[in-house]
A and B are shown apart, each in its own frame.
Chain A
């Protein structure tokens, strides 16, 4: 279907009438002129559809030009006049037998462009003939036509066996035909994730490699992309393919070059590193990549995004080419930013002087985004190349002296990171930083500065004044700054307890009483309780030694990187995102993995195909407040028997004298607060009155009591019935994406059995039957315990509720996010994929009480270097028994299925939000006191 737009016009009746007469004229010349006029009107947007029958009448001609014009007309109007279009079928069928191959090809090509169902039925026979035509030009056109037809009616193509014919064309003698067959098959394969359409074997590979040398540049791209999916049997085959692909690196078309790079990057993985050829290949890869950078800016951009991946995978290829990434004055901004990124990745001791000189130059440019990134890059260099740290710091100080506002702010943010990497080395610059305190107006810079002041409070004489000045506008600050300020003041207090009592109380009350941000509130309570129970412990927790940060933080995760290397040159590689979470229409994507190196233990065949399956995973979703609450309430599986905590306000313990009267009065002001700190039973009673109101109040504006309730022991005295809360059903699969089938659902745990509650709605016109469901591998091995029971066919507009019992005996694979579940649902129409997330609480077993020894053993499984141990004195943990019980269950469950918890602990999470939410979650789990402490210690080390 094609049309041109040049403004809306309507052909007048007079014009139409005139054209009609001319079209029906006996004279050939006149006819031709008339059709031309019609086409001209059409291309400028006039509506000439009224002439359809007259124009179609002109179709039976041996004049090629006239034919072409009529075809153009047909393609444009057939859709709006399907019944009339049938009139053209005969001519098409006849043209497909014309002695002139050009006419045969033109007919089959045009027919495929007419997206009218009735026509496609008639297309099958001519197409079948054309696919076996003696002329390669016709065959190559027919190959593309199969893809067109598949787009209109996939079932028809399969039924008619066109796919097999297409596969046969891969072995065609003509390279163009091979290339088009590959292209058509690749396009069809995208909508058929699991079909083995492009079944490659050494013979077909050989055919493809032969065709590669002779076909057009576009054909070469299709063939190379197809080759990249092949998995060679051994390193020798791999080498021979590489040898035959290498000449493509010198092609003038950059898309050919990049596709060739993809094949080589993938296959060289199999070559032994000590092979001479391996070194040769590495050397050959650099020049074409450099050449791509001298092309037009758009090409450069795509090339740079891909080079970014290549540099992470094999830095040796471009390590000597730093200079080509130097930014030019007139590069577009998107090229500049990418070049900068790669410069840092290539920075090493050998070239750091050059790089720094360049970065300093960039920091004086005009474009603000670019300048910021350049300043940030200087910081990253300092962290990456230790020898350069000093030079970087002095460069940053020079930049701060310029007093350009955004430069200063950016510099302070990166200096904070430098402090983290090299503690006690560059603190002499703090004074300079403090001079610029007033000019900071961006949250990130303010937070960084506050962190520095708090961290080095003992060396800054007026640290309390500085922090106090920030406190004045506490409520106007962003959460990031508030959290940082809270921590910094607590640090300050622990370092200089005598002068700053008032300040710390002020910030604690601001954080806990006046804030409706749960992260802030929770952190406030944790500090408060820590400080009030055991200041020594608090010191150990808050001032614990932090792990050093490394330069690796911005690298792409290795498995993702491997997958992206297999997709060099695609959109996925431009966005650095897995192809699965990607373009619509690629309903399922086979995960690709790099092949194993020969002799690396793993045999070459085993990684052949990565796991495949439904993987239209949406990007990680942070659960909304509502989901979180669902989790929270769902959690409570506690038996109604409650160990009444002993009334023994820990307030009166160690910290009393430290905090003095201020806190005391605060406590008195709120009954609930007292209840919290002391674990008083009145608390439970107070809460028990309104458990149902809790979810509503938690999210928006909780009372102090409410806030505390979520912190400690919500379920304690309440005793909700087991599994009472089930999140409302949400729509998982939209009808428009699933040919009319809409699925909404939720998860529940009833009597120890996990259930998936589904509502299936038929929004299509026809009856649906034969439902079946399957899960992809997931973090906890969830799998349907039995088949989905949909007994009656689902008629249009009907909804059926199904409860599917789940087991945890399925295959395990870690998902991102952890509780992501990918589901495939089948019915008589098609297979549909969607993904959903289940509350983790779903997995908690009722009888999860852990033996003390087992719990300790589990705990010790977490590596020691992620752990800080210390003794907390004078704490009565009676009240924590039940809490501990709950967390024990959590831990047990986790360790049973996966080592998720440990993973979380091991993973160096720098992202403060994930840390906060983890703390939050563990609090919601009503974790035992020492478990929470452990998390706090950990969080403090990385915050």
Chain B
């Protein structure tokens, strides 16, 4: 704007041209930012862009989907649900009594067949259903401090009602999660030979080193009025109790798998496996199922067809849109 485009309103009595420096002191300084004129990228969804975006998405997604499906197909999974099978027939109507009783024989054997060759490592999982590890009361019922360091042994405030023994001794590890530790055990025999199920490295490394103290030993555990789940070997520090560490990582949903161990040998197809299960854990009172799962893993983890299918579906949909837009653009351009 030229500075003196003054209209005829000048000519008046007042000298209209005051000290211009003073007048312009309020003048905003020019900058591209303050004038909202910064260079900008202004993408526009032109038909070309639309078609290419959809086509591109399709072209990327379908191969990923196929790859995932392929990986998922390569996984061999052997589930074996044993919660009902391991109830003796005389207790079949009263499974709860059977499992709660201390006198009954909990050992149960079964055989099943490997359908496909399973390359090591083969992971052994236990899967529980209808088990609400994610219940708020349950999730909160632990003491991180106590697990980490010996000095915080008394720190059991969050652990109620499994905080202290009736005589006031702190329970280590305290809380409902630890108290309800899963205690079924599995032994697998192939051709009469025991397969070694390794329990090493089934927990996260960081949990072992940072969250579960190597100087914290179980104490007063399962010594309260009620016995929950498994007992712990009091001579092994918590950082070595990988079962416990895995269990303490609460699952997100009420159906979940947890790693039990690893088998480091391959299993051939059609091999007969005989299982020896110590069926101790009570899921009967709330109708939960228990399943033993043997599974291999690939880069996408376990068997997960859904991911691949979802990818292929979305990719296909994108391609379909691309074609639709292309046709519409060709036959009914704006």
Genuine A/B complex: no
